[in-house]
Chains A and B, each alone.
Chain A
Amino acid sequence: MTEPIVVVLLIEDEAPMRRMLRAALDPGHWQLAEAATAREGLAQAASRNPDLILLDLGLPDGDGLDVTRRIREWSAVPIIVLSARGREADKVAALDAGADDYLTKPFGVDELLARMRVALRHSARIEGVAEPVFEVDGLRVDLAERRVTVRGTAVHLTPLEYKLLVALVRHAGKVLTHRALLREVWGPNAQNQTHYLRVYMTQLRHKLEADPARPRILLTEPGVGYRLQDS
């Protein structure tokens, strides 16, 4: 089965990073467009109509956050942000501005490819129909039946726990910022009550995880938010 070629736009000012990705992305599957500045990146995003954008947050002629906002004005193309450790606030801002995911430099190519696939799947899902059943690592969530089981055993969840879980399932594999989750589950007035979210997440882990002290399904993205492990 031949998959369609995916156009990836890489906006990154570091030449070694660009060379690395050029080598890593199989030309049979990915078609890489490169831009070294924010301006060039925006121009190419408009002209090449990419399927995915990899965006470095530290660009010489403007910050990536701005690029994200500008692109979101006219396109829903998945954007994965690349940034250094210790810049968690930047990542959160980029995600809140509309980016789909982030990767911390340095990263492995395997990790990058996994994230790219998740992002592409989500963008496809928006157009198609959401899967009614989600399964990972012994956890099964039946959205149609509103039924949650762990290794075959039914689990009782409170309405908010369930709502939180559904929000995560809907974006499985993608990072969700604290803000985004709070807005989705508790409504726009609770955006700063992160401790609600943390407490519910702990409760959820105790009900769903085999070892709540080492969560494998409900992952914490330190300083940013949470991510549901995707299959």
Chain B
Amino acid sequence: MNDRRLDPDTILARLKHDEARARRGTLKIFFGANPGVGKTFAMLEEARARRADGKDVVVGVVETHGRRETESLIAGLEVLPRRVIDYRGVELQEFDLDAALLRAPAILLVDELAHTNATGSRHLKRWQDVEELLAAGISIYTTLNVQHLESLNDIVAQITGTLVRETVPDAVFDGADEVELADLTPDDLLQRMEQGKVYGAEQAGRAREGFFRKGNLIALRELALRRVAERVDAQMRGYRSEQGIQAIWPTGDRLLVCVGPNPSGGRLLRAAHRMATRLHCEWVALHVEMPGRGLSPADREVLVDNLRLAEELGALTVTRQGQETADEILAYAHEHNISRIIVGKPTHPRWRDLFGRGSLLDRLVRGSGDVDVYVMTGEIENTATRRRPSIRRSSPVAEYGYAAAVVAACTLISWLVFRHLTLTDVAMVYLLGSVVVASRCGRGPSLLATIVGIALFDFFFVPPSFTFAVSDLQFLSTFGVMLVIALVISGFTVRVREQGAFARERESRTAALYAMSRELGSADGLEALLEAAGRHIGDAFGSAAQILLPDSSGQVAPQADRPTAYPIDEKERSVAQWTFRQGQLAGLGTDTLPTASALYLPLQGAERVVGVLGIRPPDESRFQDPAQRQLLEAFAAQVALLLERSALTERSRLSQLEVEAERLRTALLSSLSHDLRTPLAGITGAATSLLQDGETMRPEFRHDLLQTVVEEAKRMNRLIGNLLDMIRVETQTLVVQREWQPLEEPVGVALIRMDDALQGRAVTVDLPADLPLVSIDGLLIEQVLINLLENAIKYTPAGSPLEIAARVGDGEIEVSLADRGPGLPPGEEGRIFEKFYRAPDPTPSAGIGLGLTICRGIVRAHGGRIWAENRSGGGAVFRFTLPMLGSPPALPPREVEASA
């Protein structure tokens, strides 16, 4: 039973999609079968109608082709000025994308979607301009002819005999919000041409001979109508699915098409695309890369073009590496539930299938199981490419030299020991030589070694010696067998070696990726992470790489105060900025801003683009190789992940701080409202009663009240002082102004200041006479001592003795204050230094629980530690250390005591 309700993920995805759409402008395409059917006309009429509705409509670019009717429609609409591009001395007028983005009208008219931009423009194609405008929230009206649709490109070429180079990906057409068909019957069109309404008279004549033959027009019209009908069909399905109506045809189909460096691969891909469209299913373009001989630059270019075309047609492109093309294709098909495989027809001679394990097609069909295999026009053998591992061998000349030397050595050895050996043994020596060569060199040198070896064997050893003549015909078969054995062995050896090299290369890539993620994972801080990422990626691709991060205003830039891997000028930066904003590849080797010196990849995190990776290869074509680019993308993804993680860590650290600050704020508020009000209440009470009854009051009462005012004011002053100190400690604004001084001085000040509070307690001070000078902030350490003394006074019985002592420890001075009070509550020794901590059973004189926290803050700012413990014999002891930083400055020489 099918559940017809949509699952939440689908709904969420749809909502996100709708949201993205809401921000995006809408695209309306005026679609026609061929020029002259009135697309531009219809577009302008619609624009005028919108304008009459009060919409902000602007003409970005409209080609009137000198048609008067069209020109009259433009009149009255705002037209953006064109950008003038100087192309090799010719002035070209182009659509000004930046001006359009700046003007940002509600609706912009951009004629001829399939137009190719002049060199030097941001994008290669106008449809890319349109994509950018849509993303910026501008709605677009545009026009398109059926022959410019990518997937129909080859069919149109078959019909008209003209190959159209300017194409638009089907995804753009299918993604349009509205498509309006401008239709005209071929007869009407031809009539319009007669009247000179389409082209000038002379041009019209030529056009009628070629493109505008009636047969062509009918065929193109049919294509256009069918394509629009398909779209309507798709809309219907979209509507049904949106309304929760399950698709009537729940096809689980997935298509796989095999791609190679074949110039006619485009046909195969378009056929696959059409099939996928009809089946309404996903499709995958698979390329199998084999270890072996390299791909020529021309072949590689074709392959890259094919893969790019596949992407434009909406395929998922995949490159796999493997030994056996058929096995890889089938493995992928099984792993990914492919239901149909499309391959090209084999075009090679049949005898080649007799060797090896049969033809690829044969093995594909035999191994396909329940997967359907379709064979279409297009060469199958080129489905796979052999790629030379990038680990370079020694130069060919050296290899041939090596081969020659081995053969010479074989001959020499055979010659020396010839009399003890049979001819068969000598043949073995040469065979060995062939294998030795194959184990070090390529196929060429191996072949050379084998053939020359046989020739030398014949010349020197086979009777009659020193001629190439052969006395006994049986030796001919020996030569044949030698040749075959040597070739087979060397073939295997070479292949094993290549596989090894290939595995090593893959291994080294994986290792590079792993090494990077490991180092980045342990990188301390963003700076280190960026530095390591740039370095690793640069090393792995032999290029200069760096990462650009956005600042607070969203402008990407390389990290300041750090040398750039390659210079970033304003132009490079703007390319990176584009990549960051659009989340797409740009720069060198891409369709967007290809004049940049480097390739820019978006670092796509889970939520958004977190930065841009810029990489400048030593040669332009490096990242044309899909495998290289995919690997680069893997690196970029890894970096993006780590950057995002680091940002998240930072965010969670900040929120942790936030929580801490919030806690402090709450505690401060409660302490302000309670602890500050208490003394204030005393002061107010005393002062008001003095005001009221001061005259009549008995002098001793009056004195008591005044005493209260003074004492409470002092207490309040202390509280405020503590709060201020606390804030300084907490906000890290505590500045330690170190000066070399005897510890005796702050101790003395603290004791004098606490003199009244101590109320005659016995305080023993034990400071060794040879205590060195310490580098401390006297005021702050004095504060520590005062707070510790206050604490002791609060929590120990009046009159109980206190002891202040100091001793030199290991690289530090330890100061202690010991008491004979009740000691610390067990387990609370660590907690007492926490903010707003008060003893479980506070005395009335207790403060707000900041004194010890301030002590800890000050001591830590001095680089020391503070702790408390219970004393043997009762009481507590508070200890803190002050590190001895460097050696005290020299003192003036001691003087002779020479008093009067």
Contacts and interface: CB of A to CB of B under 8 A. Distances in A.
Nearest to A209: B748
A159 interface: yes
Given A157-B897, A222-B778, A85 B721 contact: yes
B779 A214 contact: no
A151 B740 CA distance: 32
Contact of A158 (B717, B721, B742, B898): B898
B694 to A, nearest CB: 14
Contacts of A156: 897-899
Given A86-B724, A146-B900, A159-B895, A194 B773 contact: no
A152 to B, nearest CB: 15
Given A214-B748, A222-B778, A199 B891 contact: yes
B779 A220 contact: no
Contacts of B895: 158-161
Interface string B720-760: 01001000000000000001111011111101100100000
B739 A222 contact: no
Interface residues of B, number: 34
Contacts of A213: 744, 747-748, 751, 765, 767
A93 to B, nearest CB: 14
Chain B CB within 10 Å, residue with most, of A106, A156, A159, A222: A222
Nearest to B777: A223
A214 B752 contact: yes
B676 interface: no
B742 A223 contact: no
A193 B892 CA distance: 10
B782 interface: yes
Interface in A186-231: 193-196, 198-199, 201-202, 205, 212-216, 219-220, 222-223
B889 interface: yes
Interface in A159-199: 159-162, 193-196, 198-199
Contact of A219 (B721, B752, B779): B752
B721 A220 contact: no
B480 interface: no
Interface in B855-900: 888-889, 891-892, 895-900
B713 interface: yes
Q: How big is chain A's contact interface, by range? A: 35 or more
Contact of B773 (A148, A160, A199): A199
Nearest to B804: A213
A147 B900 contact: yes
A202 B745 contact: yes
A90 interface: no
Nearest to A155: B899
Contacts of B900: 145-148
Contacts of B765: 213-214
A106 B739 contact: no
B891 A198 contact: no
A34 interface: no
A158 B896 contact: yes
Given A156-B899, A213-B751, A222-B749, A195 B778 contact: no
Nearest to A202: B742
Contacts of A201: 745
Interface in A132-162: 145-148, 154-162
B899 A212 contact: no
Contacts of B745: 198, 201-202, 220
Contacts of A148: 899-900
Interface string B569-594: 00000000000000000000000000
Contact of B739 (A86, A108, A194, A215): A194
Chain A CB within 10 Å, residue with most, of B710, B896, B900: B900
A195 B721 contact: no
A193 B767 CA distance: 24
B177 to A, nearest CB: 65
Nearest to A215: B748
Contacts of A161: 895
Nearest to B783: A222
Interface of A: 85-86, 88, 106, 108, 145-148, 154-162, 193-196, 198-199, 201-202, 205, 212-216, 219-220, 222-223
User: Closest 9 CB pairs between A and B?
Assistant: A146-B900, A158-B895, A213-B765, A156-B899, A195-B740, A223-B779, A198-B741, A157-B899, A156-B897
Interface of B: 710, 713, 717, 721, 724, 739-742, 744-749, 751-752, 755, 765, 767, 773, 778-779, 782, 888-889, 891-892, 895-900
22 contacts: A86-B724, A106-B713, A108-B710, A146-B899, A148-B900, A157-B897, A158-B895, A158-B896, A158-B898, A158-B899, A161-B895, A194-B741, A198-B739, A198-B741, A198-B742, A202-B744, A202-B745, A213-B747, A214-B748, A215-B752, A220-B752, A223-B779
